[in-house]
């Protein structure tokens, strides 16, 4: 949830550096989420197969978000 909310808030900003900050926060939240998934496995809330699927989604989203960040950084220079 945090990833998407930060992304949406960043998208709503008009200044590129502010937008970039929100996108970077969204990327950080995405990276944090993998630990939450890991903890869920350790506590037996989810199965390892579900973790692996979530990790795959995290990787896909991460690539898209990183691409957006890269483009915005290049645009800001």
Domain ranges of the chain: 2-76
pLDDT score recorded for residue 31 = 93
DSSP states of 10-76: HHT-SSHHHHHHHHHHHHHHHHHHHHHHHHHHHTTSS-HHHHHHHHHHHHHHHHHHHHHHHHHHHHH
pLDDT tens-digit profile of 34-75? 999 999 999 999 999 999 999 999 999 999 999 999 998 888
For residue 10, name the pLDDT band (cuts at 50, 70, 90): very high
d(CA 25, CA 63): 15
- Give the fold, CATH level 3, of 2-76: de novo design (two linked rop proteins) (1.20.1440)
pTM given for the model: 0.83
Over residues 2-22, mean pLDDT: 93
């Amino acid at each position: 949830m945090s990833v998407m909310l930060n992304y949406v808030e960043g998208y709503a900003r008009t200044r590129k550096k502010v937008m970039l900050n929100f996108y970077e926060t969204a990327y950080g939240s995405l990276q944090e989420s993998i630990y939450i998934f890991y903890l869920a496995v350790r506590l037996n809330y989810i199965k390892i197969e579900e973790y692996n699927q979530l990790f795959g989604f995290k990787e896909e989203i991460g690539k898209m978000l990183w691409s957006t960040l890269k483009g915005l950084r290049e645009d800001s220079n």
